């Protein structure tokens, strides 16, 4: 039913390293994690890079944003200093670099396609094409809050599985999963209930939760039948937490 890893390091290394960087992937790996979640969006010139926020200011310095900056410039930006001096000079990585790292180390990826608004279809297509080109499909599950991005990924690489992300589960969830040929619903554990979990599972879909940071809560939702979750607290919740 859920042939993928069950405990996933959120944004690479959770709270232990600057999110969405190679340093974060290395940190997760050092902690025994062989499964990561990270966020991907397109540069001005259509190159996929790891980034959570479309606008600069939180993890990288600057006034503008990802969609108005070329990959050449993005990949030279410091994405580590905001976190700590120890990570100063840690760069924004390209999706291709992270794919290569994860392939080399046998790390499974929940690739969250996070398009800048207006670039949904293009982002889904480019991310899907690059995943295929790198022959990484067997180690990837696409997820996105953007229905259009996932539809586009489906069109470009139907063989790579998809999970539909939603903060609060809406009444049309099953219709959406069917249209996407998705294998799972990904949702915020805060709004999930045991009853909803049972419904989704009974319909034949996996349930993935974000972002579960308390071991007790993780145990509770796993008891409901939740298949997998990502966590920021890779120091508290180990990769083999669910056996
Ligand atoms: O993929 C799960 C989770 O990462 C979604 O939320 O904002 O942390 O990307 P966010
Ligand atoms: Mg994410």
Q: What is the pLDDT of residues 223-232, one digit of tens each?
A: 999 999 999 9
Q: Residue 194's pLDDT is what?
A: 98
Residue 243's pLDDT band (cuts 50, 70, 90): confident
Q: Which residues surround ligand 2, an ion (CB under 5 A)?
A: 39, 112
pLDDT higher than threshold 90 for residue 44: yes
For residue 239, tell me if it sits in a domain.
no
For residue 182, tell me if it sits in a domain.
yes
For residue 161, tell me if it sits in a domain.
yes
pLDDT higher than threshold 90 for residue 215: yes
For residue 146, tell me if it sits in a domain.
yes
Helix axes of 120-133 and 147-156: crossing angle, nearest 10 degrees: 40
Query: Other C-beta atoms within 10 Å of 205: how many?
Result: 22
Strands 48-50 and 140-144: unpaired
182 Cα: distance to centroid of ligand 1 (angstroms): 18
147 Cα: distance to centroid of ligand 2 (angstroms): 15
Residues of the chain above pLDDT 70, percent = 100
Q: Residue 86's pLDDT is what?
A: 98
Residue of 73, 44, 45, 46 whose CA lies nearest to 61? 73
- Give the count of domains, the chain: 1
Strand residues in 43-168 grouped as ranges (E): 48-50, 108-113, 140-144, 162-166
Ligand nearest to the CA of 211: 1
For residue 241, tell me if it sits in a domain.
no
| Ligand 1: nearest atom to the Cα of 210 | 2
Distance CA 38, CA 15 (A): 13
Burial of residue 216 (number of CB atoms within 10 Å: 0-12, 13-18, 19+): exposed
For residue 133, tell me if it sits in a domain.
yes
Residue nearest to ligand 1 atom 1, measured at CA: 112
Residue-wise pLDDT for 147-181, tens only, equals 999 999 999 999 999 999 999 999 999 999 999 99
CATH number assigned to the domain comprising residue 194: 3.20.20.190
For residue 2, tell me if it sits in a domain.
no
What's the pTM value of the predicted model, to 2 decimals?
0.98
For residue 240, tell me if it sits in a domain.
no
Ligand nearest to the CA of 39: 2
Domain that holds residue 131: 7-231
For residue 87, what are its two tokens?
């990570």
Residues within 6 Å of ligand 1 by CB = 10, 37, 39, 52, 112, 143, 165, 186, 210-211, 230
Residue 1's pLDDT band (cuts 50, 70, 90): confident
């Amino acid at each position: 039913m859920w042939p993928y890893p069950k405990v996933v390091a959120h944004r690479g290394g959770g709270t232990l390293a600057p999110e969405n960087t190679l340093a974060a992937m290395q940190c997760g790996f050092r902690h025994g994690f062989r499964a990561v979640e990270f966020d991907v969006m397109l540069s001005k010139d259509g190159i996929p890079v790891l980034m959570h926020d479309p606008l600069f200011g939180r993890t990288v310095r600057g006034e503008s944003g990802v969609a108005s900056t070329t990959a050449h410039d993005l990949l030279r930006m410091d994405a580590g200093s905001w976190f700590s001096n120890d990570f100063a000079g840690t760069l924004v990585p390209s999706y291709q670099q992270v794919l290569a790292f994860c392939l080399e180390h046998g790390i499974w990826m929940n690739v969250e396609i996070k398009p800048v608004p207006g670039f949904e279809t293009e982002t889904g297509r480019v991310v899907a094409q690059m995943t295929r080109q790198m022959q990484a499909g067997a180690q990837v599950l696409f997820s996105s809050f953007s229905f259009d991005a996932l539809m586009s990924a489906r069109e470009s690489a139907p063989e790579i599985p998809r999970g539909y992300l939603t903060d609060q589960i809406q009444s049309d969830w099953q219709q959406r999963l069917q249209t996407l040929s998705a294998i799972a619903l990904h949702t915020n554990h805060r709004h999930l209930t045991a009853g909803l979990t049972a419904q989704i599972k009974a319909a034949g879909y996996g349930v993935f939760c974000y972002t579960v940071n308390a071991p007790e809560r993780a145990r509770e939702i796993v008891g409901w039948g939740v298949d997998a979750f990502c966590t920021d607290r890779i120091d508290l919740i180990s990769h083999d937490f669910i056996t």
